[in-house]
Structure formats: C-alpha cells, structure tokens
A and B are shown apart, each in its own frame.
Chain A
C-alpha cells in the first residue's frame, strides 16, 4: 500500500518493473498527450504497477465553467490506465479562461462549500466514479471565512460525497502559517473518506513554511503521519517529490520509514 510519485528520473526503472513500490501516482496532465514517450511510459508502467491519477488543473473551486475538453482527456486517460484512484485539489486554478498553474486558496464559507461540492458532483457524474480531493498548503486566509479549513474540507466531501487525499505536509505547512493545531485537523477528518495520504517536504521562507516538495519529509510530518494512522487506519501512502529529486534509493528509504511507522500501528 506504499507508492511513489512517478517522475522522469524514475521512468526507466519503472517501465522495467524494478521499483519496490505497490503503486505509482502519475500527474494526469503529464500524460494528456497524443503519443510519443509519455504514452509509451504510461503503457509500460501500467504493465507492472497499478497507478493513481493526480491532477492539478481541474479547477474545482473556480467560477469558470468546468473544462469539458479537459474532462474528455481525463476520461480517456482513465479508460487507458484504469487507475486505483483519481484525485485533484480543493482549490481554484483558473479564472476568465486563464490558467494560473497554482493551487490557489478558497474562502471557507457555506456558499463556497455548496459551489465546490456541486462541481465535484458534476465531475464524478461525468467520470462515473468518486474522486479524491486534496487539501492544499496555503499562505493567506480570507477574512470572511466562516469555518476552519478542516470543517470546510469535511463539508465539501460530505456534500459532494467524494473522498479525501490527505496531504500531511500541507496540513503542517498551513497549520504553521495560520497558527492552528494540526492534530486537531487530523482528528476531525472522517476516516472512511480518507483513501490516500501524501507525504512531502517543505522549505522555510522567513515566518512562513512553503510547500516546495524539494526536501525530505520532515520529522514533524512523520509525527503527524503516525498520529494520522492512529485515527485513520491503514491508508495507501506515498512520497511526493518534485524538485531536487534524489536517487530512487533515497526515496525508497524514505518510504521505508512510512512502512515502519505503519507496522508499529495496530490496525484501526
């Protein structure tokens, strides 16, 4: 139940089935192409491993209409690799036809919950499956928010009847940046909806933590992971690394830490 984010430096080993993981997570948009190497990699990796698809451009929290062409491409990709899970982020990424290629924060209001949940339901109806929504790191909070981030996440998941991808590093980063209790966040999550966990590293920028995915998983994130497992039980877990990517052995050694923590926890 332990995976890695599939990144170009690992393509060769992954297509030979030589990586000791149970599954790989693929960034959906990287494989929304007509052919060539990306599609060949996708086909070859799927011969050896189950995969999960993780998107960054669904724009679930945006006010632009859902992108039909994007959903078509995602649907084709799903048909092609029959993923274990399909996920995207609880944020907005596009406005007025312009894609901002960032995971931008939403106000935690009842209106926003209804808006996002409606869009998630549309996506799920279109894809004929439940999707997972991931909590994002944030650096600014809206003054008119009416609830905490975890209340917002839970309300959206409940109203949309979708699943949750819990990024523990993002919880830590946002907890630091906004001064809330990360453990409180984790304990409030509905265990039955959390179907995947992301572990990653972050950077320090003055008083803020930044979700950069360019460092090893930090000790506080490991501690939170242990606490999360006590509450959530065994959840498929993976390491996300997008920059300063180390050797595969190093990442697998990090994944072994997650395995050891899981092994210490009794089944929930």
Chain B
C-alpha cells in the first residue's frame, strides 16, 4: 500500500475519530509493533476523543447533566459531537451550538437549560467594562434624555424561556430536588456578571421589554414607546424609571452613553 499524503491521512484519522467506520482504511497505515494490534492502539485515540469532549461538556453544562442523568447525557452529547464537531481552537466554545441542537431535536426544556448555562458561561468571561452609576445618570441634562442610548454590559444576556429551565437550574444550584409542581409563570431571565459574581434572575414583563429595546439599540425614548405596548401608557414613565434604576444598581449598563 502506498503511503498517504499528510492531508489524506489526517482526513481519514478524523473520520475514524468521529465514527470509527473507516478503521479498515486507516489501520494499514500504522505499524503493529510490540505485538499490540493497531486497532487497539487506535482505540486509545478514539476513546480519548469522546471522553475528553464529553467531560468538557459535562463541566460546562452541570445542571443539564444532573437533570438528564449520566447515561442519557452521554448518549446525547455523543450525538451532538457527531452532528456539531468543534470548530473553535478553544475547548470552552464546544457547547456553543448545543442549545440549538437540542431545540432542533425537539427537546425544548433541555434546550432552554443549555441556553441558560451557556449564557452563564458567556457572562463569566465576557469583556470587562466600566458600568454606569446613579450619580453619572443624575448628571445627564434633561434635554438629552430624548435621544439617550444606554448600552448593556457585555456580560448581559436576556433569555426568553418557555419551559421550567430556570426552576431546574436553580434547584441544581441549590442542590435541591426539583419541585414536582410546575410553575406556570415562565418569566424571561436576565443573566449578568457584576463585581459580586454571576447572577441569574427572572425579570418582569416591563423590564424585559426595556432590556430587549436596549439590546436592539433603541434610544431610551423609543424603549419607552415599546413599553407602552405591554402596559398602560400612564404607567410607562414610572416603570421605565424603576427598571432603569434596577439595571444600574445591578451593574448591567455601560458607563459610556450615546446621544442621538
């Protein structure tokens, strides 16, 4: 058998790691020294590939692992790795497509749980930025409020969850049993990092509306118009001020403001 070129060899090796199906093609390119059969030697690489990557996913999605159980998690992650092999040099990015994968496979609770855990990971090492203070806000001249743009801190994620993923995540975090009774109210979630640590909390409809508007880079005035869609217009100003206050106190807004 002629020697393969390097690219051909690596393509075959990769295919073997992914499925093992082409072992008969790959094996003749290796030497069977010390009486140890080549398939046994290649097994070391294939086993290590799946073990290492599944361990990484287990580390990044601990609540998902706890909820699914080890065996089901292992099966699903092996399927995920076959469908979505890593495309980043950083192992930390391995689970990036897991929420969409679970969603595409009609597992909405698992998808929401993965989305929540991924947002926590993203918040953990998002860029550092100075946050807006109440004092800085008080220095804004009234005439500038009309065109004022607030920007969310890079660690902030706003999640629309349609399942009890937060309950599952929270029970795991507190090492509690999951309540049998389903909580009907599926509030949107706010995930962010502050100097005090990582936080996840459900937010009101009004705050969610404001957050989505800010995420979509609407001005504060436009965000208030959007608020009027979800609440009585007479209460918009008060609700907007309350939500803005909360976001500032939580360290969710950037110090840098934009006008116009």
Contact = CB atoms under 8 A, between A and B. Distances in A.
Contacts of B193: 36
A67 B86 CA distance: 14
Given A62-B10, A96-B11, A143-B28, A36 B126 contact: yes
Contacts of B126: 34-36
A102 B125 contact: no
Nearest to B37: A207
B53 A37 contact: no
A209 B221 CA distance: 66
Nearest to A69: B89
Nearest to A30: B92
Given A62-B10, A210-B44, A141 B89 contact: no
B127 interface: yes
B191 interface: no
A207 B33 CA distance: 12
Contacts of B34: 177-179, 207
Given A98-B85, A100-B17, A111-B6, A140 B125 contact: no
Interface string A86-98: 0000001111111
A206 B40 contact: yes
B124 interface: yes
Contacts of A100: 14, 17, 49, 86
A38 interface: yes
B36 to A, nearest CB: 5
B36 A115 contact: no
Contacts of B127: 34-35
B154 interface: yes
Contacts of B154: 34-35
B9 A32 contact: no
A243 to B, nearest CB: 9
A161 interface: no
B162 interface: no
B245 interface: no
A249 B124 CA distance: 29
B128 to A, nearest CB: 4
Given A29-B90, A178-B33, A207-B34, A38 B125 contact: yes
A102 B128 contact: no
B7 A63 contact: yes
Contacts of B49: 100-102
B6 A139 contact: no
A63 B6 CA distance: 7
B14 A98 contact: yes
B41 A139 contact: yes
Contacts of A94: 89
Contacts of A145: 31
Contact of B36 (A61, A96, A208): A208
Contact of B125 (A36, A139, A142): A36
A58 to B, nearest CB: 8
Contacts of A57: 89-90
A142 B41 contact: no
Interface string A61-105: 111000100100000000000000000000011111111111010
A196 to B, nearest CB: 22
B3 A139 contact: no
Interface string B1-39: 001001101110110010000000000111101111010
B45 interface: yes
A30 B56 CA distance: 13
Contact of A142 (B14, B31, B45, B86): B31
B88 interface: yes
Contact of B29 (A70, A115, A142): A142
Interface string B80-104: 0000011111111010000000000
Nearest to B52: A101
Interface in B125-140: 125-129
Interface of A: 29-30, 32-40, 57, 59, 61-63, 67, 70, 92-102, 104, 106-107, 109, 111-112, 115, 139-145, 177-179, 205-208, 210
11 contacts: A33-B92, A34-B126, A35-B126, A35-B128, A35-B154, A36-B124, A93-B89, A99-B89, A102-B45, A107-B3, A143-B28
Interface of B: 3, 6-7, 9-11, 13-14, 17, 28-31, 33-36, 38, 40-42, 44-45, 48-49, 52-53, 56, 85-92, 94, 123-129, 154-155, 193
Given A36-B155, A94-B89, 4 more contacts: A61-B6, A95-B7, A106-B6, A140-B41
